[in-house]
Amino acid sequence: MITGDLSVKMQWAQYHQNIIFCYQVAIDAWPKDIPFANLSNVSSSLSQLELLLQKWKSGTIHWKKLSDEEDKELQQKMDREIENGDIEERPRHMHSDKGKKHKRHSSDNNPPSWKKYKSAEIIEDEDEGSGTPHEGPAISTDDNPTSGTSTM
């Protein structure tokens, strides 16, 4: 695979941005008599589609890895075509939840890191011989001093 990414899919609408400029590859030797666009929208001729398929299978039409210079030239050409109105730059689709805050979900059922509490272990006092846990003053080891909780 020329991109090195198995999940890449052809995108006619954002071909320049999402294919050429992202992966630095382009389709080479596209026939001049067939518009370079989504084939569902521009070609209703079965003979044109069969011609394209035959050219892909023979290797006449193929993916080409672009050099940095070729990539830069294509970017400049596209910018000129957008300025001249030859091609229309499509705005990206805005998400319906734009501006809304989202809760973060942890994959484990632990509380967020800022709510995790640290506590000292119970220390057995064997010197007194009673075998009961030592009960000293409670010391807060929480990172948040305003929480008001203390554990021992």
Dihedral of the alpha carbons of 39, 42, 45, 46, in degrees to the nearest 10: 0
Q: What pLDDT tens digit does each residue of the chain (152 aa) get?
A: 788 888 888 888 888 888 888 899 999 999 998 888 888 887 678 888 999 999 999 999 999 999 999 999 988 988 888 888 877 766 667 788 888 887 766 666 666 666 566 666 666 666 555 555 555 555 555 555 554 444 44
> Which pLDDT does position 61 carry in this prediction?
95
> Which pLDDT does position 71 carry in this prediction?
92
pTM metric for this prediction:
0.53
At 26, list the tokens. 């382009």
> Which pLDDT does position 135 carry in this prediction?
56
Are residues 104 and 95 in contact, defined by beta-carbon separation less than 8 angstroms?
Answer: no
> Which pLDDT does position 121 carry in this prediction?
63
Q: Is 71 helix (H, G, I), strand (E, B) or coil?
A: helix
Q: Is 101 helix (H, G, I), strand (E, B) or coil?
A: coil
Total residues belonging to the chain: 152
